[in-house]
Structure 1
Amino acid sequence: MNKFLIAFLCLLLVSTGKIMAQSNTHARPNILIIVSDDHAYQSIGAYGSPYGATPNIDRLARQGAVYQNAFVTNSLCGPSRACLLTSKYSNLNGFKDNFSRFDPAQPTFASHLTEAGYQTAWIGKWHLGSLPLHFSYFKIVPEQGFYYNPDFINMDNDTSRIDGYVTNVITDLSENWLKNRDTTKPFCLVIGEKATHRTWIPDTADFGAFDHVHFPLPDDFYDSFPGRYAGKVNNMNIAHTMRLGYDLKMKADTGFGKDNYTRFTPSQKKYFDDYYDSIYQDFKSRHLTGKALTEWKFQRYMRDYYATVLSLDRNVGRIVDYIDKSGLGDNTIVIYTSDQGMYLGEHGWFDKRFIYDQSMKTPLVIRYPKMIQPRTKDSSMVMLLDIAPTFMQLAGLKVPSDMQGQSLIPVFKGKDKEFRNAVFYHYYEYPNEHNALPHFGIRTKRYVLVRFYKPSEAWKNKMVNEGSLIIDTYNPKDYWEFYDLKADPEQLHNMYEENKHSAVVKRLKAELNKLIKQYKQQDAAAILAGKMK
């Protein structure tokens, strides 16, 4: 055979092999997941908010699906992220509270995807007390990070400051990574946003954006918590816990300035002073007390919170637009979610932690044209626990047997309307700034059954030894709460005492025990058996 013909055929075979390899690679979808912090689903237009703060998230929802019953396993920043990564409850992944350290060597969706040939990256807030492993790239903010001129830790464990507003900076870094990735490989990019975490500092472009809005008080704003000890003794209420200086940027104390004010550039400082000083002068002239002061604090909280949402949403739009303009939209699953929900004055609260809906429920919006019809509204009970198994299946991998979630692909295809009948929740962190008592429970579409409990002596001693607890000034106790969401959607009336022997409560306790066994919750089992030590 002619040597030139042989050379041509060899070149053709090599080229064909490369094309086939690239074709097979690109058959696997790219993955983009944006994880915000403390973003209340009730502040998003797609979930019914009337204030117009989320046009880009709403657009994403129109292009895909809104999951109206998405839940977390443990409504706290670090534990929720650990669950997302591992698809394991806190008792198995080892990260029960924000005093913990995540073991990054344990299997995660990143370790499986990286091994399978994906380029993987985590950019932004990590907040797991360790550095990421198994990612092709990371650039994370230390701890909570700062809203202005944030520090970032890179893969060499060096820390450097980047000027700008944190949400914009995270998007800049994410776009840069996408532009410089190996385009022959599929990617999985996790964007961890700091927004909308306390202390809700908006971008300078958004100062005052909602000052024209008078936010109505939630119906339960002045909840007095009859029969609900945990609600009564918590310390996360707007009236008494929310600080004028630290939270609301008034110059009534120095808490805000220590961590944030000194980081401003001169121009940022001028924007900040011009806006908040005028509010502070007006506030001083009013001499507010009692309910008038509480309601003023609520309005300031809401205006800052929603203004902080604006930049978050704008940057969601930026990164999704980049995906679409790069021709990646059809083969990229785009997920927007938060590490948990947030109270926007419900029960008079801010923060999260509790099993009640505004905390345990989280926004989940997913666009994936290959499987999800536009404008889908899905009421299936899904969890952040389900994200990692979904990634495994989309990548053509076997779902590891130690993952406790379920792939969402049947839900995407509309083939599993009874995907899950109940979710299990377990919040551990105690003591804490907000005095949210530890508890676990079960939520079905109609009912909530929850057990609050005293932390064990071993746990108390651990907190003392770590310096987290010096004097136990609270009085946690063991008791049950039970709610019928059909009759009491705001979860105001604990009906446990009058229903503790009812068929419904007995059935829920049986289901709770089943889930405790399924999720290997030995500590919860010990509490119910009266063997907590």
Structure 2
Amino acid sequence: MTTAPRRPNVLVIQADQFRWDCLGAAGNPDVQTPNLDRLAADGALFTNAFCPLPVCTPSRYSMLSGLYVHQHGAWTNHSTLPPALDTFPRSLRRAGYRTAAVGKMHFTPTYLDVGYDHMALAEQHGPGRYHDDYHRELREAGLAPVLDLLDQEEHLRTQAPASYWETYGSGRSDLPEEWHSTTWIGERAVQELKGWTDSGSHLLHVSFVKPHHPFDPPAGWDEMYHPDDLSPLPGWTERVPEADRGHQHGYFDYGGLTEPVLRRVMAHYYATISQLDHQIGRLLDQLQASGLYDDTLIVFTSDHGEYLGFHHLLLKWGPMYDPVAKVPLIVKFPVGSTGTSRRAEVDDALISLVDIAPTVLSACGVAPAQPLPGLDLAEPRVVRRCVFAENRTGDGIVFMARSATHKLLLHSGVSGALTDAASAGTPAGVHGLSPATTSAAARGSRDALYALMTDPFELHNRIDDHAHADQAEHLRSELANWMLFETPTPTYLDENAPQIDAENVPPEDQTALADHRTYFESKATGQSS
């Protein structure tokens, strides 16, 4: 009698607001990430991975469900993933996996069931911090993350001292290292891994709060980097470009963001990354000590990126430029799987976080409950012409369509493109748009096209440059095709939805229903009942 091979374990490690190039493996010369670098040496490093929306909760729901935001409908940090939509944790749980989550999930309600049997939460923003395990334990210990509270709670931010504004929310944490969220999450994740056995299959989702602002490493870590030793990352400008002036007051006033101040911010941002990397090293060491490392699928990523000086901006409020739309992504495949050959590979293909769900399910031999738009990253080379993202602003939706050479940011006019495509019955219909239809005046002045091969830092808007008109039309066509044909919004179905309580509503009786159907069908076919 032969026994079926044991399914791989799955470890998903997620950071928050982690800029894609802040990894040694990605070529950053300053930040120290030895553990993530060794993970990349055992797997595939994807250097063109993008989030579907650069905001925490919508991006997390997309990763879990494998659906784009316009498909799952949870557009903001205060939103709920519809229970009728499946997730890869739910699929694995149905398949017999033991599932758990540790850290920041950013769900509403806080302990929303997306497929995890057990959740030990450390939240940061919104009501979750007043429900979670971490803050309850902090209170029992008589502690409070004061800097984090001043940064995250808008009604408290006005009471922040001048030093908070001068440092752009960076500095030493007011918590000892053992109570810092990164340590708390890492310790509980290690304990979960210690409970893994050879007799079952496990999924653990570990989600760190950091390096999300405030950039507040604990004592010791805060002195790891000296500002004078750091260099601004590519895309830093001495002032906010004219096109971005409307975004410069999203959180801080960037008038005081000089290069020395930026380097001080970077020193603390990098320190939170190195502290996080240390905890990831503990997770990898535990898997190796238990003999489970080789047979575990490990994914490391972030929900969105961070400007960190790009266009003289910080954080994530503003246009979907690459530093905020791109995310780090490392996938280490289990031994013997299709993806094993991807060891120590650097892949620049266009990738989306919606690819994680089909990748995990495929590695575990579990079929998705519904068709998913993403791709299996175990394949030798993912081929995608464009990658897409979307976001809501105060006056509508912004779309991003990005190829290997160009990026289109469309704030208005997409309805016209979609209407043309739909009326033509084919995405090719949008190629017929006249130059007048695509003028800046018709679309709105905030639309943008960037020629990334010659303008990698997205400083020169070519939307009205006739030399790039074909590329603009091509990306508009790709966007229309994606919205209308490739990723339609799922139809919500719940056969057991609540009904009114009234005498004329028949009870749920399948026998009576079948008898009723037989009667009418017999009449329709001319037979007697």
> For this structure pair, what is the TM-score category when the shorter chain's length is used for normalisation?
0.7 to 0.9
2:459 aligned with 1:492: yes
1:519 alignment partner in structure 2? 487
Where in structure 2 are the equivalents of 1:88-167 lying within 5 Å?
88-103=67-82, 106-130=85-109, 131-133=111-113, 134-144=115-125, 153=132, 159-161=136-138, 164-167=179-182
Map Cα deviations across residues 27-74 of structure 1 (whole Å, 9 max, x no partner).
211100100001112211111111142111111111211111111110
2:410 alignment partner in structure 1? 451
Q: 2:302 aligns with which of 324, 327, 338?
A: 338
Q: 1:295 aligns with which of 259, 264, 268?
A: 259
The one-letter code matched in structure 2 to 1:321 is D
CA change 1:52–1:338 in 2 (3 A) is same
Where in structure 2 are the equivalents of 1:231-242 lying within 5 Å?
231-235=244-248, 240-241=252-253
The one-letter code matched in structure 2 to 1:337 is T
Secondary structure of the corresponding residue to residue 427 of structure 1: strand
Aligned equivalents of 1:205, 1:374: Cα separation in 2: 34
Post-superposition shift, 1:500? 8.5
1:208 alignment partner in structure 2? 223
2:224 aligned with 1:198: no
Sequence identity (%): 28
Map Cα deviations across residues 159-199 of structure 1 (whole Å, 9 max, x no partner).
44376121111121112122234542111110010010110
Secondary structure of the corresponding residue to residue 387 of structure 2: strand
TM-score, normalisation: structure 1: 0.72
2:241 alignment partner in structure 1? 225
Post-superposition shift, 1:424? 1.3
Secondary structure of the corresponding residue to residue 464 of structure 2: helix
C-alpha contact (below 8 Å) 1:381/1:420 kept by paired residues: yes
Aligned equivalents of 2:280, 2:202: Cα separation in 1: 18
The one-letter code matched in structure 2 to 1:210 is Y
C-alpha contact (below 8 Å) 1:141/1:151 kept by paired residues: no
The one-letter code matched in structure 2 to 1:190 is H
**Alignment RMSD (CA, Å):** 3.0
Post-superposition shift, 1:504? 2.2
1:326 alignment partner in structure 2? 290
Post-superposition shift, 1:331? 0.7
The one-letter code matched in structure 1 to 2:241 is F
Secondary structure of the corresponding residue to residue 25 of structure 2: helix
Post-superposition shift, 1:299? 2.2
Aligned equivalents of 1:343, 1:427: Cα separation in 2: 16
Aligned equivalents of 1:40, 1:153: Cα separation in 2: 27
Map Cα deviations across residues 431-489 of structure 1 (whole Å, 9 max, x no partner).
8xxxxx84102000111111124999xxxxxxxxxxxxxxxxxxx95642111111111
Aligned equivalents of 2:203, 2:245: Cα separation in 1: 43
Secondary structure of the corresponding residue to residue 258 of structure 2: helix
Q: Unaligned regions of 5+ residues in structure 1, if any?
A: 1-15, 243-289, 432-436, 457-475, 523-533
Secondary structure of the corresponding residue to residue 46 of structure 1: coil
Post-superposition shift, 1:340? 1.2
Aligned equivalents of 1:502, 1:521: Cα separation in 2: 30
CA change 1:38–1:426 in 2 (3 A) is same
Q: Unaligned regions of 5+ residues in structure 2, if any?
A: 142-177, 416-442, 491-529
The one-letter code matched in structure 2 to 1:216 is S
Secondary structure of the corresponding residue to residue 346 of structure 1: coil
C-alpha contact (below 8 Å) 1:500/1:506 kept by paired residues: no
Aligned equivalents of 1:512, 1:500: Cα separation in 2: 20
CA change 1:143–1:446 in 2 (3 A) is same
C-alpha contact (below 8 Å) 1:338/1:362 kept by paired residues: yes
Aligned equivalents of 1:345, 1:172: Cα separation in 2: 32
CA change 1:212–1:510 in 2 (3 A) is closer
Post-superposition shift, 1:224? 4.7
The one-letter code matched in structure 1 to 2:275 is S
